[in-house]
Chains A and B, each alone.
Chain A
């Protein structure tokens, strides 16, 4: 999927190293900065959606059943969702790989 060349030659860079394609940050899979990931206990989740509102990266959404789901391509593991969840149903799990 990455449209941008990850290793361009200097001759191929745009003037002033500008990014010419709007919305191209989606190609940068910043999720690989993460050292631990949020995990939900859906038995305890009340589908309030607070976690999706507070996620600073906008990578939490609501699935068909109304539960939050995380896009791990962009989740950096900041754990703000854990802090904000008032039911305490989210925990952080260390990344193994």
Chain B
């Protein structure tokens, strides 16, 4: 039976992975790691989880090892963060294009320099194009629930893709929350025993990862694009099924108090929960604000997003990462891509905030509101701005 208990989110996520009966975990065990793999190694050591725990010398090796175990047909789980994810970069693309259903949690944290271990989205947004499915959880319960959901999605015969489960580093990963932890028996009713579609087997030899000459590389990429796009329907089905079974329903795009809103914040991750509290507070003073949150980031839920923001006047996209000297934040870029050419499209105000652990507090949301209000009142749409930079944003605002 599922019990609600006070537990550190990383430990709850580790226990969820153990309850999913993972076969193999390969991970680099120290900074920038979370307690997830630390706890999994304890469970394996103590004989509570029958799995191979492979401690490796780097995250590059961790992901390489995961590719090997997934190719051999093992249910494979790993976890990383920040610099660790960056070090995996090269192998992420290989895991994706080989269609290996690896589940990896990423406690989103900033990239150096300066050395900073705190929360933002620069690690995950840098891996946006790796070809993995990417999903965001906002709190400990969601992160824990998403572990079996991610295994189910990744291993679905219509999907067969690796998936990154994102939640904010420290703000979610290291806090103690009351979490309903599903046990092994309950998860078994939702997540069937993994049967690989294709695996390395000496009795039926195949080659995974052969050279793709110019004559076939484009087709391989097209096949991958089709796979990522076609994962959308199965993802929706699986999220719905989880909801029916366990009472907690998640959607690719979720809204909060948007019914009569003029200004809608576009967010993802734990900061959206702070924003919800702020919305509750300022709604009483007449500010018509709401929030639209991306839960699913890859595949980009274009249709669901467009429906969610239809009719609003101003969107405030809150990015936790940006491209220096480029076109601002990645979420804003994609929001504008989705809205370009749409009739009566909302105006898009872009802010970059909450970098490297800087708090996204009520003051920050007020500052964003002031910017958006000017646009709502007919003002020009300003370029993107690092709103929390002391000394002001460099360049023309």
Hey, which bits of chain A sit against chain B, CB under 8 A?
A: 6-11, 13-20, 22, 24
In the bound assembly, the distance between CA atoms of A18 and B215 in angstroms comes to 15
- Min Cβ gap B83→A in Å is 28
Among A7, A15, A16, A20, which residue has the most Cβ atoms of chain B within 10 A?
A16
When the two chains form the complex, which single residue of A7, A10, A22 contacts B220, counting CB atoms closer than 8 Å?
A10
**Residue of A whose beta carbon sits closest to that of B207:** A19
Stretch of B94-102, B254-262, B329-337 that contacts chain A:
B94-102
**Residues on the B chain within 8 Å of A13, using CB:** 216, 219-220, 223
- Min Cβ gap B66→A in Å is 15
Hey, which bits of chain B sit against chain A, CB under 8 A?
A: 97-100, 160, 197-198, 205-210, 212, 215-216, 218-220, 222-223, 226
**Residues on the A chain within 8 Å of B198, using CB:** 14-16, 18
Among A9, A17, A20, A22, which residue has the most Cβ atoms of chain B within 10 A?
A17
In the bound assembly, the distance between CA atoms of A86 and B100 in angstroms comes to 49
**Residues on the B chain within 8 Å of A10, using CB:** 218-220, 222-223, 226
**Residues on the A chain within 8 Å of B160, using CB:** 15
- Min Cβ gap B211→A in Å is 9
**Residues on the B chain within 8 Å of A20, using CB:** 206
**Residues on the B chain within 8 Å of A15, using CB:** 99, 160, 197-198
In the bound assembly, the distance between CA atoms of A18 and B206 in angstroms comes to 7
When the two chains form the complex, which single residue of A17, A18, A22, A24 contacts B216, counting CB atoms closer than 8 Å?
A17
**Residue of A whose beta carbon sits closest to that of B96:** A16
Given A6-B215, A10-B222, A17-B210, 6 other A-B contacts at CB below 8 A? A11-B223, A13-B216, A15-B198, A17-B97, A17-B98, A18-B208
In the bound assembly, the distance between CA atoms of A26 and B209 in angstroms comes to 17
In the bound assembly, the distance between CA atoms of A11 and B208 in angstroms comes to 18
Q: Can you sample 7 A-B contacts with CB below 8 Å?
A: A6-B215, A7-B215, A9-B219, A10-B220, A16-B99, A17-B223, A19-B207
Query: Does the CB pair B206–A19 fall under 8 Å?
Result: yes
Query: Does the CB pair B210–A8 fall under 8 Å?
Result: no
In the bound assembly, the distance between CA atoms of A9 and B223 in angstroms comes to 9
In the bound assembly, the distance between CA atoms of A18 and B216 in angstroms comes to 12
In the bound assembly, the distance between CA atoms of A8 and B219 in angstroms comes to 8
In the bound assembly, the distance between CA atoms of A94 and B226 in angstroms comes to 45
**Residues on the A chain within 8 Å of B206, using CB:** 14, 18-20, 22
**Residues on the A chain within 8 Å of B97, using CB:** 16-17
